[in-house]
Amino acid sequence: MPSRTIHYQRKSSAAQHLIQTPSSVDMQHYIFVIQAVDRGEPSLSSTVTVYFNVQDLNDNAPVFDPMSYSDEVFENVTVGSSVLTVSATDQDGGANGRVTYSIVDGDEDGLFDIDDNGVVVTVKELDREKQSIHNLWIQASDLAEPPSRRLSSTIQATVILRDTNDNAPEFLSPPEAMVMENAPPNTVIMAVKALDRDEGANSYIEYSLAPVIGNKLVIGPVDGLIRVGGSIDREVQSSFSLLVTARDRGSPSRSATQTIKVQILDENDNAPVFDPRHYSATVSENSALGLSVLQAITGAAGRVRRVDQRVVSAPTCWLASVVAWSITSDEELALLSSPLYVVAEMRVGSVYSARSISAETMASYATIPPLGWV
């Protein structure tokens, strides 16, 4: 044991002295050689060796150095990976100076653990999209006995999760849209919207559209707006099934697709067409009322719509009766002053006699149907 001078203060004439030493942490074991000398002539003396130990009082709490910690890790680190290391020391001796660590707050989901060396490790998978920053409160405690005498200190350690491209875009837009036929180019049909929960380039989305014949429909790669790109004719194609892709800029990138049905709404751009264009029939005069004279058939490109068929040309003495009809109409028709009237069904107009017809009054009738839509 190295020698050193111990300062003391004489308390009385007896061999009692008060040792004045800085602290028990300097030395825990002491050996003194004490010499007693009288004042005689010649003086006589004797020595004695004194051994004693200093008992620690656990008067020092652990101290962290540094006082704060922060580190970044990728969110996809494997379970058991080290994310940061803390360190604390205790100036006391023995068990009073041995330090253990624990996470006392900030880890509600039990994602982390810390060992006796202050190394913080993951015990579960991390997810930046759920929580990007973890502020862990770490306590360093000594092992004094009984436990009620233990001292501790606490610091905050911050674990910041860096993003990895682990999420594909998710579509938020509806799967259906409508547009009028003959809509001009650049007409906006709908806005496609997708969301990527990652950050940075991993969350930047670009949109693309599977090729559409004639580029009749196009999509903006940045804004996701589906627009009219060319001429649209409902009678040629009544709907489009679009396959939209949303892709992020991660490496490697992730993508998602959505099928959107665009319904083409009809515009009244086609007139009914009689087939054939001319009809003729013969009826006996004085025939019974309601006699079927002939049937006129109309057709139109695309879906047949409600049509007004009427007798528009007749002698001035015979007023034509106008009959409006619908596809499901079954109502009876009043017999008006015209000798002819029309009952319409799907694409068929039947001409009936409305009253007694006399050859002496008029031997023939000519009628001209209009080419118009209701």
The whole-number pLDDT of residue 243 equals: 97
Answer whether residue 372 shows pLDDT above 60.
no
Average pLDDT over residues 157-161: 98
The whole-number pLDDT of residue 340 equals: 52
User: Do strands 176-180 and 255-265 pair parallel, antiparallel, or not at all (unpaired)?
Assistant: parallel
Q: How far apart are CA 173 and CA 176, in angstroms?
A: 9
The whole-number pLDDT of residue 290 equals: 66
Q: How far apart are CA 177 and CA 244, in angstroms?
A: 13
pLDDT digits (tens, 9 = 90+) for 248-290: 999 999 999 999 999 999 887 777 776 677 777 777 766 666 6
Would you list the domain boundaries of the chain? 7-53, 63-162, 170-265, 270-374
The whole-number pLDDT of residue 325 equals: 34
pLDDT digits (tens, 9 = 90+) for 89-141: 999 888 999 999 999 999 999 999 999 999 999 999 999 999 999 999 999 99
Q: Answer yes or no: same fold for 63-162 and 170-265.
A: yes
The whole-number pLDDT of residue 336 equals: 36
Superfamily of segment(s) 63-162: Cadherins (2.60.40.60)
pLDDT digits (tens, 9 = 90+) for 197-256: 999 999 999 999 999 988 999 999 999 999 999 999 998 999 999 999 999 999 999 999
CATH of region 170-265:
2.60.40.60
Average pLDDT over residues 31-52: 85
Q: Which CATH architecture has domain 270-374?
A: Sandwich (2.60)
